[in-house]
């Protein structure tokens, strides 16, 4: 029989954060008017900002907190006249119930397993179709079925694995077609997102990223620089588009491409060394407030990058199938 799942352990991270905040609101430690900010809460709960964002939205729906003119949320229902209280949340001595704390710690384990599995799966995609054996995965990392399911569920959400009709988890081969289609989606969405970000673009952050790159120009490790520039572009511009659904689509679409790219680099394939310069041109256009030109440039850049990615994928054909080194991935001969 399946072991019973502890209710808290099976919860999603944002639910855990919401539960912790809710408990402290009802106990009065978080008093009406207290300003809740994502960053400090994330720091306190040892999590990223995304689950905190989601947790705050839940509490807002529950009418426990509300937005106000400033940054963040105020504790208390909308319409309650309170004066904003700005204090460090870490100084309040919030009580985080034990089971929630444990679950958050488990989440840490969960994330480490996730990273390893994602890396192994991404590396396998290049070599064909693979089946993931759940039992083997659990044994290999010494984790519960719940953790295995969460890990596989997340991989599924990120578009890296699928479930077959016979309920087997499979990692489908990375094909040129999927690379091309994902880049076409990028070309449709990202320039459009950039056009709509407007004043939300964090110009100072982009300028800083550019200056940092220029200062580091002579370092030997210049190859991965484009990755940092790309992150800066996404975090400080494109992901700030007002349409959050659009941003989510862009994020999701990039995940398998990024995972594949990391896997190819791990195999020893050279990185694109000229890409960094193209980012600099783009940043300069953005900093000159030539947003429309920047969007067009970004579209052209993505078309080039797609071609390079396709060429890079062809090159992988000369690498023979390596031993994957993990027992839970087995090749699936579809013929």
Nearer to another protein, 37 or 316 (CB): 316
The smaller minimum CB distance to another protein, of residues 173 and 185, is found at 173
Among 313, 324, 330, 332, binds another protein (CB under 8 A): 313
180 interacts with another protein by CB under 8 A? yes
Under rule CB under 8 A, residue 244 binds another protein: no
Answer for the pair 117, 151: CB distance below 8 angstroms, yes or no: yes
Using the rule CB under 8 A, give the single segment among 198-206, 223-231, 289-297, 308-316 that binds another protein: 308-316
Closest CA to 20 of 86, 108, 81, 92: 92
Residue 239 or 297: which CB sits closer to another protein?
297
Which residues inside 265-284 make contact with another protein, applying CB under 8 A? Answer: 270, 273-274
Give which of 198, 261, 195 is closest to 231, Cα–Cα: 261
Alpha carbons 262 and 267: distance in angstroms, whole number: 9
Residue 5 binds to another protein (criterion: CB under 8 A):
no
Burial call 304-325: b when 16+ CB within 10 Å, e when fewer? ebbeebeebbeeeeeeeeeebe
- Give the nearest distance from C-beta 223 to another protein in angstroms: 13
Which residue from 88, 104, 13, 90 is spatially nearest to 44, judged by alpha carbons? 90
Confirm or reject binding of residue 108 to another protein (CB under 8 A). Answer: no
Per CB under 8 A, the list member of 240, 312, 328, 329 interacting with another protein is: 312
Pick the closest to residue 94 from 6, 179, 31, 162 (CA basis).
31
- Out of 139, 277, 314, 322, the residue judged to bind another protein by CB under 8 A: 314
How many chain residues touch another protein (CB under 8 A)?
A: 27
Q: Are 85 and 33 in contact (CB under 8 A)?
A: yes
State yes or no: residue 1 binds another protein (CB under 8 A).
no
Instruction: Scan residues 127-146 and list those touching another protein (CB under 8 A).
Output: 127-128
Residue 315 binds another protein, judged by CB under 8 A: yes
Binding part of the chain for another protein, among 78-86, 95-103, 187-195, 309-317 by CB under 8 A, reads: 309-317
User: How many angstroms separate the CA atoms of 59 and 19, rounded?
Assistant: 9
Q: How far is CA 19 from CA 32, 129, 154, in A?
A: 17, 40, 21
Q: Which of 200, 308, 322, 327 binds another protein (CB under 8 A)?
A: 308
Stretch that binds another protein, among 138-146, 149-157, 211-219, 312-320 (CB under 8 A): 312-320
105's CB contacts (< 8 A; 6+ apart) are none
Query: Of 12, 52, 252, which is closest to residue 156 (Cα–Cα)?
Result: 252
- Is there binding between residue 307 and another protein (CB under 8 A)? yes
Task: Give the footprint of another protein on this chain (CB under 8 A).
Answer: 126-128, 173-177, 180, 270, 273-274, 307-308, 310-318, 321, 333-335
């Amino acid at each position: 029989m399946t072991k019973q799942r502890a209710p808290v352990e099976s919860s999603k991270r944002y639910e855990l954060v919401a539960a912790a905040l809710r408990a402290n609101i009802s106990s009065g430690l978080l008093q009406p008017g207290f300003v809740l900010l994502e960053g400090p809460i994330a720091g306190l709960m040892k999590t990223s900002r995304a689950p905190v964002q989601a947790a705050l939205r839940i509490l807002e729906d529950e009418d426990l907190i509300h937005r106000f003119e400033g940054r963040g949320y105020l504790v208390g229902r909308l319409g309650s006249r309170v004066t904003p209280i700005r204090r460090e949340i870490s100084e309040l001595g919030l009580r985080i119930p034990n089971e929630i704390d444990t679950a958050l710690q488990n989440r840490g384990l969960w994330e480490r397993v996730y990273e390893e599995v994602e890396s192994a799966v991404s590396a396998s995609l290049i070599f064909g179709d693979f089946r993931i054996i759940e039992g083997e995965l659990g044994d290999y990392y010494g984790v519960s079925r719940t953790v295995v399911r969460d890990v596989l569920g997340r991989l599924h959400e990120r578009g890296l694995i699928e479930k077959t009709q016979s309920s087997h988890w499979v990692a489908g081969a990375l094909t040129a077609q999927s690379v091309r289609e994902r880049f076409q989606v990028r070309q449709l969405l990202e320039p459009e997102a950039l056009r709509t970000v407007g004043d939300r673009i964090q110009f100072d952050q982009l300028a800083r990223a550019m200056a940092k790159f220029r200062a580091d120009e002579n370092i030997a490790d210049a190859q991965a620089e484009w990755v940092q520039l790309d992150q800066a572009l996404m975090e400080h511009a494109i992901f700030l588009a007002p349409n959050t659904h659009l941003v989510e689509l862009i994020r999701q679409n990039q995940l398998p491409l990024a995972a594949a790219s990391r896997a190819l680099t791990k195999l020893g394939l050279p990185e694109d060394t000229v890409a960094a310069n193209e980012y600099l041109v783009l940043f300069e256009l953005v900093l000159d407030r030539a947003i429309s030109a920047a969007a067009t440039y970004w579209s052209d850049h993505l078309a080039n990058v797609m071609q390079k990615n396709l060429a890079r994928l062809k090159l992988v054909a000369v690498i023979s199938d390596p031993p994957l080194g993990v027992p839970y991935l087995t090749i699936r001969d579809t013929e």
